[in-house]
Structure 1
Amino acid sequence: MNYDHVLVPSGVAVTPEEVDEYLAAQNGVGEVAVVAEMAAVINARDAELPEADTFLGAERVGGAATGNALYVSGPYDAIGFVRALLFEIATPRGYAVYDPQLTWLIDPAGRAEVHVTHGGAGEFPYLTESLAHLWVPELSGPNPYLIAERGEQVYIQTYRDPSGSYTVEYRDGAPERHFGATVEDPKRVAELFWTWAEGNELPDPGWSRVDF
């Protein structure tokens, strides 16, 4: 069984329902130039790999009447690699990555370019306000954490406790600049993440220094 991603232009949809409507409208429309260009890059990257390591197998992407959308399917064990490649190709061209399995639309509009690690889904090259509010409330076992990093020892992270509360910590360059707090409201946690990602001063939910 394969894992699917779809590339769509940034801004054409907000909700999964709107993505589905957009894709339905693109069905049967001739492939646009930017989609053909992205497909060619993906196919070339796959062709560079040894046969045992290809992420498209016998299939190739593109060349179909899907208008402004590009469908990419790959094996489950290559999800991280494929997703990273898609962001590399799509983001500079103003395209979003849609994950139909998780119904996540990862749109680069208004992004903060921080490295994000989602405990349940892997790594992402940016954060947006909408993603923060999508991801934080949905954190669940076995790895209910989210980390955003700007550089070495500069990050914010949260872990959702079994009780439903969130342990939030941030580090500002060194162990002695590491603070934590317990926050009950996922909306407030998401707001802390986005405030930090934008480079603004964090409000105080009751920070205390974390000693190691």
Structure 2
Amino acid sequence: MSYDLGVWAGDADDPQARYASIGEGPADSSLDAFYRDLTAQFPELHEDPETSPWNAAIERSGDGAVLAIQHSRAVAVTRVVLDLARKHGLTVFNPQTGEVHRPNVLDLTMCDGSRVENPDASVIEAALGRLSAKNWYAVLERGDHYVQIGQGKFAAAPRGKYALERRDGSPDRHYRTEAGSLAEVVTAFTGFAEGDSSWVEGFEWEKVDFS
């Protein structure tokens, strides 16, 4: 068994049907750049069977592809797939959950698995109000930009404070700070949603180095 993802160019009224149709017809060039970036990080199974995270060769057809990921590598590989799909303006479909990640759509995701597309300010505030020791993080993303919040030990946040992070495009533009109240977090998230970057100036940021 593998953890599968579907990737394709454009949108689809019926993502499940679109996913099922991958495999029909020869591959075109729509996913070439995505495929190169992905296999530069995670080689095809036949190229490096010892370290490759794939259960099978990446299946490409038309402007779509099916990625069969080893379950033990699913979380890490999925994050990279989503990052690269945003970079190249592609849709990602998760057949295990039915989730669809569309390029340049405002997407709010919580630790408890809840997800809302294009949330307004009231939805964002209500969602952040559900943060807890178990439901400890939230991410609001649009394309390759996002703001995220975490609390408690898993987020390495001091007691009574929130770990607030933002990414302004590429992974090397990832920053972290602390928010002292939920109101500050709501202001950051709603500002991001509305395209108002003035909230950034209210914090002192440190660059996060993942190397």
In the alignment, what sits opposite 1:61? Answer: 58
Report the secondary structure of 1:29's partner residue: coil
Structure 1's 180 and 74: CA in aligned 2 closer, same or farther, altered over 3 A?
same
Report how far residue 70 of structure 1 moved. Answer: 0.8
CA contact (8 A) 2:93 2:99 kept: yes
Report the secondary structure of 2:103's partner residue: coil
Name the aligned partner's letter for residue 147 of structure 1. Answer: A
Equivalent of 1:95, from 82, 90, 93?
Answer: 90
What pairs up with 1:11-30 in 2 under 5 angstroms?
Answer: 12-13=11-12, 18-25=14-21, 27-30=23-26
TM-score normalised to the size of structure 2? 0.54
Report how far residue 50 of structure 1 moved. Answer: 6.2
CA contact (8 A) 1:170 1:178 kept: no
Structure 1's 158 and 192: CA in aligned 2 closer, same or farther, altered over 3 A?
farther
- Deviations 1:69-127 (CA, angstroms, capped at 9, x unpaired): 11001111111221122123322221021111111111122448xxx874256xxxxx9
For structure 2, the 5+ residue unaligned runs are 142-146, 153-161, 166-175, 200-211
Q: Percentage identity across aligned positions?
A: 14
In the alignment, what sits opposite 1:4? Answer: 4
Name the aligned partner's letter for residue 54 of structure 1. Answer: S
What pairs up with 1:142-181 in 2 under 5 angstroms?
Answer: 143-148=134-139, 156=149, 178-180=180-182
CA contact (8 A) 2:22 2:65 kept: no
What pairs up with 1:50-129 in 2 under 5 angstroms?
Answer: 51-57=49-55, 59-63=56-60, 66-111=61-106, 118-119=110-111, 129=118
For structure 1, the 5+ residue unaligned runs are 122-126, 160-168, 182-190, 203-212
Q: What is the aligned length? A: 165
Report how far residue 23 of structure 1 moved. Answer: 3.2
